[in-house]
Amino acid sequence: MRKEILVLILVLLLSISGCIVKGEGVSKDTIYGIEEDGIVWKTWSVWLTNDHPSGKPGESGYYSAIYSVSKDNKELVKKIQELAGTNKTVMVYYENHMFVLPWEYSSDVVIRDIKPMD
């Protein structure tokens, strides 16, 4: 009985992973890198900076974040690759997911779209 309950819980977690969006947003950033990474499961990581100093005493550099992109969204991956390192400012549309599994995304913040600001 205990084993069946554990299996049921595991199946439920796997079925809802990535399906629950706990938040969404838009940010103005610069893409300074994209990387396909992973030994077993390949995922895409995107490095962003919002181009202003971190503002923390004793720290230098800029605030940055690492977001994910769906490995199945080849059109978006290509768009990000073209914009990476160009120093162009982009609007990033993203979602915060709950229960993200390692073969789906590299982080729980997932980019849904990117639009260059001209």
Instruction: Using 70 as the pLDDT threshold, list the residues of the chain that sit under it.
Output: 10-19, 51-63, 103
Fold of 2-116: OB fold (Dihydrolipoamide Acetyltransferase, E2P) (2.40.50)
Give the pLDDT score at 115.
94
**pLDDT value of residue 9:** 72
Give this prediction's pTM.
Answer: 0.73
- pLDDT in the model for residue 56: 57
For the chain, domain boundaries: 2-116
Q: What is the pLDDT of residue 15?
A: 56
pLDDT tens digits, residue range 54-70? Answer: 555 555 556 678 888 88
DSSP-derived secondary structure for 58-77: T--SEEEEEEEE-TT-HHHH
